[in-house]
Structure 1
Amino acid sequence: MSASQQAGMLTYDLRSRGTSSLYEFLYQSIREDIARGRIPCGTKLPSKRNLAQHLDIGVATVTAAYDQLITEGFVRTEQRRGYFVEDVSDFRCKSVASQVKGLSGEKRGSLGSGSGTRGTAGGASSMRGTKGATAEGASAGRGSEHRGIAGGPADEVDPAAVAGIPGVAANSSSAAGSASSAASTFATETPHAIERARDPEYFVDLKANRTSVSLFPATVWGRYMREVLSLPSDNLLRSIPFNGLPELRRAIASYLRRTRGMDVSPDCIIIGAGSEYLYGRLLQMLGPTTTFAMENPGYRKFAAISKAFGNPWRPVPIDESGLLVDELEESGADVVHVSPANHFPTGIVMPIKRRLELFEWANRARKRYIIEDDYDSEFRYSGRLIMPLFADDASDKVIYLNAFSKTMVPSLRISYMVLPPKLLARYVDTMSFYSCTVSSFEQYALARFIDEGHLERHINRTRNFYRRQREAVLREIAQSPLAEISHVEERNAGTHFLLYVRTSLTHDQVRQRGAEQGLNISLFNDYLLRDGDGLSERTTKRFEKYSNGETALVLNYAGIEPERLPETVRRLACVFPECE
């Protein structure tokens, strides 16, 4: 069918939508038909009004479905012409029927395209299916405790045994002198080092990407912690499996199936104390010869961790559709770290065409993988949540990474990753000697918190709060002197936006004047990654052209207390002499 051809009227049985909303069902139905080629590239879709009349639904329902398809890159809109199907002919759609059944128990589900079942470590096939071997069983016979080389706990030292080591007693006096010198150094230098590492106090920290702890249902969480303490001591005090408690892994697998369209085995989930810890385990497992690529600009901490582990890494520029795959190929990287649902700090959603290019890159070599960081993806304020790459991965190339520190509270250092079956087998063989770093108390409590629906209710409540918070911040800026010298770029997602300011100040001056006003300010350039090979310079030039030379501030509004909002915007305006 040519680009000028009109699609016949789209007909779907809306009675089979199960628990899905009308717009989600319609979006999913059209998405599947496009992905499977039943609606070819270039086809003009029915107008919103005509389709609404045909299906006997509201125009707003069709608008919401079309908007989601546009966001994900399946459909484009042309002014005064209508809606047209994009070329997604290379899209390999998984079994929708099995994924839908897992989501809602009905014929067609509400989240994303089909995703077959993720297996466990025992084998792999080109089609999704349940694999036989499990990761949990791989640690059987390892013993209830991980021991040091000598056979005892790794952190225990027997003074009597040390006394028998040749040379120790003879050097005791010099050792005492060294200890005295070390103690003196510790007393004079350590407090200063700790002070340098401590975060300074600000009136408002616009840089920290943290949530408001006042939103967290602490009473509910406390009740679950008390219930956990009443569990039989055998359950609570025994050693935890290396990959985390089965109860929590099952709860996370069920949550991902309901909310992210991901059908995964609990055995493929690894629990850890923070994304940084899990990322470090991946680096160690994949080895020092594996080259990692990062989105540039992007999250600097992962680049720092890669450098600390001795892994080569490359910053790869992005454009308005996300990571540039041709630049990724040129970089020589084996593994790439991306945030396709909500890139930081731009908020870009990676469209389907770029996702297909990324899958093609990964499939060209056996050792290539994609680390999908889905952090912050739950906070989307229009349309539905963006489908993860993992849910559309038919080749076991995606490692899924997420955390609870943003959706719940920062102090809850619980993260998880979902590994493809082949990598899971490798993780079991090489990394399972590491003990799980999250206490059983918190894991049991979190499992119950998720299973009884409190996590989803808390996320919905928090999402509504941040939607109102964002609107209030934007309204306050629009009514301030900043409106005359700036414009906002925000994409209805996350808890930050870009504020482009026309100012004569240098970046250092903006930071300094912000600190004088009690504001911790971050700039777009703070998130540019540099490894000396010119990639960051290309990214800088691209966004300098895009921003017309304006200074881009990355404003995180999650931590602004509502009563401090007017004063915060007033102080921000005082940073720039153009507002005076």
Structure 2
Amino acid sequence: MIVDNNLEYPLYLQLYEYYKKRIVEGELKSGEKLPSKRYLSDSLGLSVNTVTRAYYLLEEEGFILAIERRGYFVEQLSNINVGKSIQEVTSFKKDKAEEILYDFSSSAISESDFPFYTFSKLYKKVIDKYRENILTNSDPNGKLEFKIAISKYLMESRGLITNPKNIVISSGMEYLFQILFYIFPQENIFGIENPGYDVLPSMIKSRGFGVVPIEIGPEGIDLDALEKSSVSILTITPSHQFPTGTIMPISRRLQVLHWANMSSKNYVIEDDYDSEFRYVGKPLDPLKSLDTSDKVIYMGSFSKSVAPSLRISYMILPESLMESLSEDAPFFICSVPVIEQMVMAEFLINGHFERHLNRMRRIYKKNREVAIKLLEKDPKVLNISGADAGIHIVVEFDTKKTDSELKKEFLKSGISISPLSEYYSGGEPSHSKFILGFGGLTRESLTEGIGKMLQIL
């Protein structure tokens, strides 16, 4: 049987695999003619488009040659190494013990609400509009068109006025930090939030910099501890602190800026984490918008707002650091493909991004309400914290089990959720607080998952 409607992978790939295997194994010889598309369509009960897609793949990979008015013929091949077929690859089954049924991770988003149709149109539009321009190298810090679109969006949505030329595009926050590590002299000491982004301490230490964890209180970073420390570069998430969910008030923000101005060596790295998802009032103005001395490095990302797999982030560098970038790290080249930068530029310019955010805010706000309502009813839930923003909350459970024991029990039931203690530098004793993300689940799955979680307690 050439194709099987009962298999999980597409018919055109089955047809492609069938002919590829026969060519590779020598059953079909060089110069031998393949059946016409119409004949295969009629004899196999497939659409002509399905056969065309299979033949297109075979031709694209050099297995067959299309000759106008004559048909398709097997190419001259040599030194062919037979690899695994799609059937072999797709036959792999995930171990049931590994299967995640309810993903409560803070990074999960609603995949079903991704604007697939819009992006498919924008990719075609960009290819038709820019053609050869998307094949050439651009500014090493990113395409100017994309940077202008980001600058315009930040001005309209966040009240932030910036020079597009000071924007640096990269694939993820980690890559942005690698750039900064080359700009800053190694005698600098980084101050990090505690708890905070769990990968950051090891990432900073790996480049030879000192790290000082600074405790997070109800209003954000502990200013007294900061001023008494030897920290010269402070990394913070003031709009929605990760992972506690606190929001830094304006008075504390001004104090942080005052600290930055106390020394020419001091800088603040502002990660505007989750700023787009605020459910009460408008998003708070970023620290960067209050920065009159050009001491704040602003970082933003499209991972939560669009999709983590895009791996598109950016930072706004102070003018003095732009000079250092060109002098000390000229070898850094933007790692985001030009076509993806131009697609995102169109997504921003034409208002698709703003409409997408409005839609996702409604969905995530409702998910948050559903989660909190379910948790509040159960006596095993002692406390729920986190501002009316972002796509996660912190839940404290009434249990005698350790965080690691509870995490393992949850995982056995297909529940992925992380304890807050994992995000403390140097480790933290179990305190039964877990980070519950609600972005990647439907309301039905959210209800089921929380129900199972409470049963385990």
TM-score, length basis structure 2 = 0.76
The Cα of 1:550 is off from its aligned counterpart by 5.4
Q: Does 1:492 align with 2:388?
A: yes
Residue in 2 that maps onto 1:278: 176
Q: Does 1:452 align with 2:333?
A: no
- Whether contact under 8 Å (2:301, 2:312) holds in the other structure is yes
Q: Within 5 Å, which residues of 2 pair with 1:60-75? A: none
Which letter does structure 1 place at the counterpart of 2:196? G
Residue in 1 that maps onto 2:102: 204
The Cα of 1:478 is off from its aligned counterpart by 3.5
CA distance in 2, matches of 1:564, 1:490: 22
Which letter does structure 2 place at the counterpart of 1:430? D
Which letter does structure 1 place at the counterpart of 2:345? A
CA distance in 1, matches of 2:182, 2:445: 44
Identify which of 147, 150, 157 aligns with 1:249.
147
Corresponding residue SS for 2:268:
strand
Corresponding residue SS for 1:270:
strand
Q: Within 5 Å, which residues of 2 pair with 1:69-468? A: 200-468=98-366
Which letter does structure 1 place at the counterpart of 2:445? R
Residue in 2 that maps onto 1:565: 446
CA distance in 2, matches of 1:244, 1:453: 21
Residue in 2 that maps onto 1:524: 420
Residue in 2 that maps onto 1:126: none
CA distance in 1, matches of 2:164, 2:103: 38
Residue in 1 that maps onto 2:34: none
Which letter does structure 1 place at the counterpart of 2:438? Y
The Cα of 1:562 is off from its aligned counterpart by 2.3
The alignment covers a number of residue pairs equal to 361
Corresponding residue SS for 2:446:
helix
- Whether contact under 8 Å (1:473, 1:557) holds in the other structure is yes
Corresponding residue SS for 1:402:
strand
Which letter does structure 2 place at the counterpart of 1:524? L
CA distance in 2, matches of 1:550, 1:299: 18
- Whether contact under 8 Å (1:524, 1:552) holds in the other structure is yes
CA distance in 2, matches of 1:298, 1:356: 21
CA distance in 1, matches of 2:355, 2:120: 17
The Cα of 1:358 is off from its aligned counterpart by 1.0
Which letter does structure 1 place at the counterpart of 2:391? T
Residue in 2 that maps onto 1:12: none
Q: Does 1:502 align with 2:433?
A: no
Corresponding residue SS for 1:493:
coil
Corresponding residue SS for 2:161:
coil
Structure 1 residue runs of 5 or longer lacking an equivalent are 1-198, 531-535, 541-548
Residue in 1 that maps onto 2:72: none
CA distance in 1, matches of 2:383, 2:240: 20
Deviations 1:421-457 (A, max 9, x none): 1111111222232221011100111111100000111
Deviations 1:56-111 (A, max 9, x none): xxxxxxxxxxxxxxxxxxxxxxxxxxxxxxxxxxxxxxxxxxxxxxxxxxxxxxxx
- Whether contact under 8 Å (1:503, 1:550) holds in the other structure is no
Are residues 208 and 319 of structure 1, via their aligned partners in 2, closer, same or farther at CA, if it must alter by over 3 Å? closer
Corresponding residue SS for 1:299:
coil
The Cα of 1:265 is off from its aligned counterpart by 0.7
TM-score, length basis structure 1 = 0.60
Aligned CA-pair RMSD = 1.7
Residue in 2 that maps onto 1:172: none
Are residues 415 and 231 of structure 1, via their aligned partners in 2, closer, same or farther at CA, if it must alter by over 3 Å? same
The Cα of 1:565 is off from its aligned counterpart by 2.2
Deviations 1:365-403 (A, max 9, x none): 111100000021110000111110000001111000010
Identify which of 404, 407, 415 aligns with 1:511.
407
CA distance in 1, matches of 2:200, 2:383: 30
Residue in 1 that maps onto 2:31: none
CA distance in 2, matches of 1:565, 1:241: 44
- Whether contact under 8 Å (1:284, 1:309) holds in the other structure is no
Corresponding residue SS for 2:440:
coil
Corresponding residue SS for 1:230:
helix
- Whether contact under 8 Å (1:374, 1:400) holds in the other structure is yes
- Whether contact under 8 Å (2:106, 2:435) holds in the other structure is no
- Whether contact under 8 Å (1:316, 1:331) holds in the other structure is no
CA distance in 2, matches of 1:485, 1:219: 41
The Cα of 1:238 is off from its aligned counterpart by 1.3
- Whether contact under 8 Å (1:502, 1:550) holds in the other structure is no
The Cα of 1:415 is off from its aligned counterpart by 0.5
CA distance in 2, matches of 1:301, 1:550: 21
Larger RCO: Structure 1 or Structure 2 (Cα < 8 Å, ≥ 6 residues apart)? 2
CA distance in 1, matches of 2:104, 2:382: 17
- Whether contact under 8 Å (1:345, 1:524) holds in the other structure is yes
Corresponding residue SS for 2:280:
coil
Which deviates further from its counterpart, 413-422 or 427-436? 427-436
Which letter does structure 1 place at the counterpart of 2:292? A
Which letter does structure 2 place at the counterpart of 1:311? F
The Cα of 1:302 is off from its aligned counterpart by 1.8
Are residues 232 and 477 of structure 1, via their aligned partners in 2, closer, same or farther at CA, if it must alter by over 3 Å? closer
- Whether contact under 8 Å (2:141, 2:167) holds in the other structure is yes
Residue in 1 that maps onto 2:18: none
Deviations 1:258-315 (A, max 9, x none): 0000000101100001111011111121132221110001111222211222221111
- Whether contact under 8 Å (2:148, 2:164) holds in the other structure is yes
Which letter does structure 1 place at the counterpart of 2:175? Y
Residue in 1 that maps onto 2:20: none
- Whether contact under 8 Å (2:102, 2:446) holds in the other structure is no
Which letter does structure 1 place at the counterpart of 2:424? L
Which letter does structure 2 place at the counterpart of 1:569? I
Which letter does structure 1 place at the counterpart of 2:186? P
Corresponding residue SS for 1:471:
helix
CA distance in 2, matches of 1:321, 1:405: 26
CA distance in 2, matches of 1:309, 1:426: 18
The Cα of 1:206 is off from its aligned counterpart by 1.5
Which letter does structure 1 place at the counterpart of 2:251? K
The Cα of 1:227 is off from its aligned counterpart by 1.4
CA distance in 2, matches of 1:376, 1:566: 23
CA distance in 1, matches of 2:132, 2:413: 55
